[in-house]
Copies of this chain bind each other. A is one copy, B any other.
């Protein structure tokens, strides 16, 4: 199966009208006049962002989910995407089939389509890139620099599940018999993180700043703090984890140290955002209405950086090195 057959058989059915049946080198989009367009681009490399030979539908599914998470953090809705795939010559048809089914899964879930892209040969690891295009009403994009002193700090979902999923895949098990039934939950969090698009519209109305947690809570809290020029004070005990993670933590020799891994690791794709504290009740209600866990984990304060507090004491994180340490699975 060559590039042309892959495109014609598997990718063309995923294309929007503007994708011109993927028979052209270009795609067209008529933006709505009252909308801003938002672009995100994420690349995944075999052996770095996903396991070698781990080419199920989860690979393409995750690529789109990760990009959608960036759009959600901006308050945007997806409208289309471009795809780039660099594959070895020896790639067999089952890969093409699985890869396109992962794309279709996410397209159907979140209602957007393929616009175009490029497929090339590489002699090295597989490299896949997606450029997602989202839209939102003019001027309403949520940025990272709007956190204000006194704001509440919120996080969606639970943290750490993806870390345990990665660990389970890497180690084959989690060295803890009782949670065997939870492994499916962790792996799903790793392979198929849910982009929190469901709350994007509410965030446009209430969030003063937002970021998706791709580099770990600590690192991404630093990014928000840097951009907004404030200090984020986060209560360790309030950080939400799943029942499954709680069970795993209880089996560890040092609960707190094990918990810290949840915060240094990335790949959560939950949203970290700030909002005026007068909206605390409203956001609790929103959580119930949307069926999406939202947890207040701290307060924005004067200063710089991120303080994580337990029993009124500061927990030590290596903040000078967080850029390298906490995202060591991801970057240069």
Contacts and interface: CB of A to CB of B under 8 A. Distances in A.
Interface of A: 1-4, 6, 20, 23-31, 33, 35-49, 70-71, 73-74, 76, 82-87, 89, 91, 115-125, 127, 129, 131, 133, 138, 141, 143-144, 211-212, 214, 223, 226-227, 323-324, 330-332
Given A23-B144, A28-B39, A122-B127, 4 more contacts: A46-B124, A47-B123, A86-B127, A131-B131
B116 A40 contact: yes
A84 B129 contact: yes
Contacts of A127: 45, 86, 122, 124, 127
Nearest to A212: B25
A279 to B, nearest CB: 23
B2 A332 contact: yes
B121 A124 contact: no
12 contacts: A2-B331, A26-B38, A27-B38, A28-B141, A29-B36, A29-B37, A29-B39, A39-B82, A39-B116, A45-B122, A91-B332, A127-B127
Contacts of A324: 2
A324 B223 CA distance: 47
Nearest to A214: B25
A231 to B, nearest CB: 18
Query: Copies of this chain, how many?
Result: 2
A38 B24 CA distance: 11
B25 A121 contact: no
A100 to B, nearest CB: 15
Contacts of A49: 120
Nearest to A19: B39
Contact of A37 (B28, B33, B48): B28
